[in-house]
A = this chain, B = another copy of it.
């Protein structure tokens, strides 16, 4: 079947050999070409920039909607962007430069300036005929905005409200004055949460003087939600997220750079575990078999801690933890950790007794396991919440970090418990 949707065509072109990409692209109708271009991989976009005549490219860039153009510019070298900017028509240049002026990952950077604004005194009929005229040049005609003379946002209405209203009614009577809006410097994640919470198709963006300057639409926000989820998932796996979710297109050294920092921090932390064991080598040289249970104990502690930090970090991210409160969440996790420890004792004590050839070993492993799981669950819940309270990213307290912290405490508890048991109840 021939691809008909712009994104499918873009994918088909992207999968062609480089020399054919420009040829295939030229076969598209002009309007189609603009839509398809927006969906192309950044690499293919750049290939086309190099291979098409500059007039052809400029026409596409000129006709892109401002938010998509800004997204493209974000990925191009600064030199190319400057060239494009100077070649754009004055109106488009002004809008684009304005959007590029906002911080990355804010509503200002994501928004489009192409929206429909109405006036309170217009009738529904007048408004509809205005919309008909402006529809080809705006991103959405379903969310409509009402502004006063100073461009202050005074109300919103949907196209649905408009088509069902009496044609002679004034916009001021149809619109609702209770507007949920956002500001240009609001973080993209917060904007995404608002769209999701209110089931909106678009959210108006105002500047510091409450003037309507743009709108962000739901399709852009879905990508933000996915991008933020990828970040959380990467953080949970101790991988630093890049600017874009382009891991599989990054070079080897970019990838290594995004992973080595966390690994080195964790290696240093693991060095402390080594230190703790080395300081307790007396008991290990007396009872060598004790060493065999170290991975089991710290591994289990790490797993319990990872579970707790996972649910708490996700809860903070989706804001579902709010209903419970920090203190309650921590104590609940602590109790869960103890409960899970007790459940595992049923398997672990007999195993340690048999493998360690003695009840004392079984007891040492069992007591340590229970303390470690309780501690791990408590730390796994507490540290992300603490970081969040301190204004830091709770995701930094993710599984690998909690696991390593648990290791240190775990071997300390285990070797000291074992030493105490062995010294007092020598077998």
Query: Which of A21-29, A97-105, A269-277 is near enough to bind chain B?
Result: A269-277
State whether B289 touches A291 (Cβ < 8 A).
no
Q: Does A114 contact B (CB under 8 A)?
A: no
Nearest Cβ distance between residue A331 and chain B, in whole angstroms?
Answer: 11
Q: Does A47 contact B (CB under 8 A)?
A: no
In Å, the complex CA distance between A7 and B178 comes to 14
Residues of B close to A306: CB separation below 8 A:
237-238, 399-400
State whether A259 touches B178 (Cβ < 8 A).
no
Residues of B close to A427: CB separation below 8 A:
none
Chain A residues numbered 207-227 whose CB sits less than 8 Å from any CB in chain B: 218-219, 221-223, 225-226
A300 and B236 in contact (CB under 8 A), knowing A335-B252, A339-B256? no
State whether A236 touches B233 (Cβ < 8 A).
yes
Residues of B close to A285: CB separation below 8 A:
285, 288
Interface string of A37-54 (1 = CB under 8 A from B): 000010000000000000
Residues of B close to A323: CB separation below 8 A:
41, 248-249
Nearest Cβ distance between residue A268 and chain B, in whole angstroms?
Answer: 8
State whether A318 touches B237 (Cβ < 8 A).
no
Q: Which of B263, B295, B404 is within 8 Å of A344, CB to CB?
A: B263
Q: Which of B197, B255, B300 is within 8 Å of A267, CB to CB?
A: B300
Q: Does A106 contact B (CB under 8 A)?
A: no
A311 and B234 in contact (CB under 8 A), knowing A226-B229, A300-B270? yes
Q: Using a Cβ–Cβ cut-off of 8 Å, how many residues does chain A contribute to the interface with B? A: 110
In Å, the complex CA distance between A336 and B257 comes to 10
Residues of B close to A226: CB separation below 8 A:
196, 225, 229, 318
In Å, the complex CA distance between A319 and B285 comes to 51
In Å, the complex CA distance between A344 and B270 comes to 12
Residues of B close to A159: CB separation below 8 A:
141-142, 159, 163
In Å, the complex CA distance between A199 and B404 comes to 42
Residues of B close to A278: CB separation below 8 A:
289, 292, 355
In Å, the complex CA distance between A128 and B132 comes to 13
State whether B311 touches A411 (Cβ < 8 A).
no
Interface string of A271-303 (1 = CB under 8 A from B): 101110110010011001101111110111011
State whether B198 touches A201 (Cβ < 8 A).
no
Nearest Cβ distance between residue A405 and chain B, in whole angstroms?
Answer: 11
Nearest Cβ distance between residue A411 and chain B, in whole angstroms?
Answer: 6
Chain A residues numbered 312-339 whose CB sits less than 8 Å from any CB in chain B: 313-315, 318, 320-321, 323-324, 329, 332, 335-336, 339
Chain A residues numbered 137-152 whose CB sits less than 8 Å from any CB in chain B: 141-142
Q: Does A117 contact B (CB under 8 A)?
A: no
Q: Does A403 contact B (CB under 8 A)?
A: yes
Q: Does A12 contact B (CB under 8 A)?
A: no
Residues of B close to A160: CB separation below 8 A:
135, 141-142
Q: Which of B219, B247, B255 is within 8 Å of A320, CB to CB?
A: B247
Q: Does A351 contact B (CB under 8 A)?
A: yes
In Å, the complex CA distance between A310 and B320 comes to 24
Q: Does A75 contact B (CB under 8 A)?
A: no
State whether A4 touches B178 (Cβ < 8 A).
yes
State whether A281 touches B292 (Cβ < 8 A).
yes
In Å, the complex CA distance between A399 and B400 comes to 9
Q: Does A71 contact B (CB under 8 A)?
A: no
- Closest B residue to A259 by beta carbon equals B307
In Å, the complex CA distance between A178 and B222 comes to 24
In Å, the complex CA distance between A296 and B273 comes to 7
Q: Which of B256, B268, B340, B400 is within 8 Å of A259, CB to CB?
A: B340
Inter-chain pairs besides A4-B178, A259-B307, A273-B296, 4 sampled, C-beta below 8 Å: A136-B164, A237-B306, A237-B311, A237-B399
What are 17 A-B contacts defined by CB distance under 8 Å?
A142-B142, A142-B160, A196-B222, A199-B219, A221-B222, A233-B313, A236-B399, A239-B310, A246-B320, A247-B320, A260-B343, A262-B303, A267-B300, A267-B348, A271-B355, A291-B294, A299-B403
